[in-house]
Amino acid sequence: MRRRKQNGLTLIELIVAFTIMLVLSTMAVPLARSRIQTERRRALQAALDEMRHAIDRYKDNCDQGYFGPPKAGSNCYPESLEILVAGVKLAQSPDGKVMKFLRRIPRDPFTNKYEWGLLSDQDDPTATNWGGQNVFNVYTKSMDKDPDGKPYAEW
């Protein structure tokens, strides 16, 4: 006997609907994870490019003598990333004009920190410890690897 004005779903209809939702969601999760990793890789590459470009501009200006005589042992590279944000006083400027190279230090998308691995031009290229003389290169401190198996720290 069926009721004429039956409201709601039967148990079978609910099971089928939940099964379809489960299948669709299990297909979407790997796609979402892949998308997040792709965005992190893009953000990492952009941050590294931005900082390396700022280091190169600092070096070019220092080589041209805009900051006065370079500090001994620095080879005209910045002493830290913070100098690129704070700026450097121009030697020939009577009003103390400061040249800045970065607005802020970017956040590492893999570690979610503002700390980066630093290399000096006097360090061994494969070293993981910074010598402290200057900043020649930056890298992420993440131990993750890209899909090709190359560590992000070697980008």
Alpha carbon 139 to its chain's center: 9
More confident residue, 123 or 151: 151
Dist. CA 38–CA 151, nearest whole Å:
15
Q: Does pLDDT of 1 surpass 70?
A: no
Name the strand (E) or helix (H) holding 47: helix 11-63
Q: Give the pLDDT of residue 96.
A: 82
Q: What is the pLDDT of residues 16-65, one digit of tens each?
A: 999 999 998 888 888 888 899 999 999 999 999 999 999 999 999 999 98
Q: Are 42 and 35 in contact (CB under 8 A)?
A: no
Q: What is the pLDDT of residues 78-136, one digit of tens each?
A: 999 999 999 999 888 888 899 999 999 999 999 999 999 998 888 777 777 787 788 99
Q: Give the pLDDT of residue 103.
A: 95
Dist. CA 27–CA 148, nearest whole Å:
23
Dist. CA 80–CA 102, nearest whole Å:
12
